[in-house]
Amino acid sequence: MNEHAVSQEEALGKVILSARNIAKSFGNVHALKAVNFDVHYGQVTTLFGENGAGKSTLMKILSGVMQPSSGEIVLEGEPVSFSSTTEAQRHGISIIHQELSLAPNLSVRDNVFMGREIVGKGGVDYAEESHQTRQLMEELDEPIDPLTPVEDLRLGQQQIVEIARALSVNSRILIMDEPTSALSASEVEVLFRVIRDLKSRGVSLVYISHHLEEALTITDHAVVLRDGRMTAYAARAEIDLEWIVRNMVGENFDLGSPPEGYAMGDAVLSIEGVTVPDASVPGRAVVDDMSLSVRAGEIVCIYGLMGAGRTELLESVAGRGGMVAGRVLLHGEDISRLSIAERIEKGLVLVPEDRQRDGLVPTMSVGENLSLASIGAFTKGLLTSRGRERHVVGDSISNVHIKTDGPAASIGSLSGGNQQKVVIGKMMATHPRVVLLDEPSRGIDIGAKAEVFRLLSEGAAQQGLAVVFSTSEVGECLSIAHRIVVMSRGRIAAEFGADATKEEIMAASGEAVVA
């Protein structure tokens, strides 16, 4: 036992897995150009980089999802090549994907053990699987019943199931590609506790996140990728946030401040007593008699933990249904009975939280996705005009800075963050008066986040756009928002002006209590 501990001590920090001169091209897109990357034994190596820098691509290569165009992978001194994820798993490498890869119709248990079912004497040993799943979920502080179908879980919980699945493999090297993009601060804390635990058991981790501060608290080594090249490496002790941002984007980005110097208009959006019942718990409401009014040119941030009812509120206001009481007024007109299409027509749009499920049409090209919500703008008589559509699409691509091969590229060829920008660009192309954004910064890098916020604050200042966005990152609330509304258990727990402090906001959301 003692001997083991000593050898472990020695090995700590040694390179266990390394990528040598890895290049990867997709047609004309050179996603990776001769990248070297090391994974250290029993430590966390974090990969930083802008959207489309090639982070996910590199991780997919290390975990056998894709094969490199050139270069080699060295595992404990031996060159290896993985033709599939199963082969990589046999070598002890597993990955948590950026985009969730769960089967929504199956239960939590079946998802955790998908492809690796525990077979007992009389077929699959469901009891044992349930037992292990329950243990894993408890370890992750999310005691969901193993038999709950995954589609009934909210996004954050699904992400936790994805994490549980990766943990259940007991791998030596665990890659996490943006595991926290849908998690609340307290859930992130739990994950970090698990990561520390894994480290102490000698598991080596690779971590990717756009939440830079958060990532810094857990990492031992930082690597920055930029345009498919590794541009910087440093051990944790030598770096700070500023170093990362500088190496990632070349300059320091500020998320901005509330736009000023103009008069706000009258209330454009008024929500009065909106109530949405909880589908799974009768008698409980996820949105409980909420009222909120937003003026033209005003930016409101809704802060809250996962499950506070933000998504349900925004979806019901946008017309997704579920509302049993209350009214939604747009320019004083009651729009509660209108369809989603009619609300978009009147200038109220929603950028949904889950881009895979609610935002993108995977069979359509980038251009067709971008123009989907504004077809009317390029229809003359009965037919659509291709010239005008190109125009609409071209504008969107440049307005939200989408990094793509062109409008004809497929959605799947974009990096996660760029997919998110497509969803935002699509809704902005309808020239809305009121825009609701549910976690708009999910998976986008700091530069892009600043761009999106700049776009919103310009819209507010110049066109009197009313903006409501939700977030679970306090820092984002304290950027461009004029007003911060904290939601907890379906109600408004507190309201602050732009001068609030992080602590005030977090305390009001009930975060302090949970954590």
Ligand X SMILES: Nc1ncnc2c1ncn2[C@@H]1O[C@H](COP(=O)(O)OP(=O)(O)OP(=O)(O)O)[C@@H](O)[C@H]1O
Q: Of 78, 382, 387, 513, which one interacts with another protein (CB under 8 A)?
A: 382
Binding string, 304-343, against another protein, x = CB under 8 A?
Answer: --------------x-x------------------xxx--
Angle of the 416-428 helix axis to the 446-463 helix axis, nearest 10: 10
Q: By CB under 5 A, is residue 56 in contact with Mg ion?
A: yes
Q: By CB under 8 A, is residue 69 in contact with another protein?
A: yes
**Angle at Cα 386 formed by Cα 384 and Cα 387, nearest 5°?**
125
Rounded to whole angstroms, how far apart are CA atoms 130 and 136? 10
Q: Of 42, 54, 68, 490, which one interacts with another protein (CB under 8 A)?
A: 68
Would you say 437 and 420 are in contact if contact means Cβ atoms under 8 Å apart?
Answer: no
Q: Which of 397, 411, 426, 318 is nearest to 361 (CA)?
A: 411
CB of 375 to another protein, least distance (A): 4
Tell the residue number behind the tokens 């125009």, with chain if given.
Answer: 391
Contacts with another protein by CB under 8 A: the residue count is: 64
CB of 401 to another protein, least distance (A): 20
Ranges within 134-173 binding ligand X (CB under 6 A)? none
Segment contacting ligand X (CB under 6 A): 213-221, 327-335, 406-414, 503-511? 406-414
Tell the residue number behind the tokens 């889950």, with chain if given.
Answer: 354
**With CB cut-offs between 5 and 8 Å by kind, which of ligand X, another protein, Mg ion, none does residue 426 bind?**
another protein
Rounded to whole angstroms, how far apart are CA atoms 375 and 370? 10
Q: Of 187, 445, 451, 476, which one interacts with ligand X (CB under 6 A)?
A: 445
Would you say 303 and 509 are in contact if contact means Cβ atoms under 8 Å apart?
Answer: yes
Residues 6+ apart with CB under 8 A from 448: 50, 51, 401, 417, 421
Rounded to whole angstroms, how far apart are CA atoms 195 and 190? 9
CB of 413 to another protein, least distance (A): 5
Binding string, 265-304, against another protein, x = CB under 8 A?
Answer: ----------------------------------------
CB of 219 to ligand X, least distance (A): 17
Residues 6+ apart with CB under 8 A from 120: 128
H or E stretch at 270: strand 267-277
DSSP state of 499: T
- 3-class state of residue 19 by DSSP: strand
Q: Which of 372, 368, 376, 350 is nearest to 432 (CA)?
A: 350
Pairing of strands 119-120, 123-124: antiparallel
Binding string, 87-126, against ligand X, x = CB under 6 A?
Answer: -----------x----------------------------
Q: By CB under 8 A, is residue 36 in contact with another protein?
A: no
Q: By CB under 6 A, is residue 297 in contact with ligand X?
A: no
Ranges within 386-425 binding Mg ion (CB under 5 A)? 416
Cα atoms in the 13 Å half-sphere on the side-chain side of 364: 14
Residue 412's Cβ-count burial label (10 Å; 0-12, 13-18, 19+) is exposed
Segment contacting another protein (CB under 8 A): 21-29, 108-116, 443-451, 482-490? 21-29
Q: Of 38, 87, 99, 272, which one interacts with another protein (CB under 8 A)?
A: 99
Q: Of 417, 425, 490, 510, which one interacts with ligand X (CB under 6 A)?
A: 417
- 3-class state of residue 107 by DSSP: strand
Q: Which residue is nearest to ligand X (CB)?
A: 417
Q: Of 43, 94, 98, 181, which one interacts with Mg ion (CB under 5 A)?
A: 98
- Judged by the rule CB under 8 A, the positions of this chain that interact with another protein are 23-28, 30, 33-34, 56, 60, 65-70, 81, 83, 97-99, 101, 318, 320, 339-341, 344-345, 350, 352, 356-365, 368, 371-373, 375-376, 379, 382-384, 405-406, 408-413, 419, 426-427, 430
- Judged by the rule CB under 6 A, the positions of this chain that interact with ligand X are 26, 29, 31, 49, 51-57, 98, 403, 412-418, 443, 445
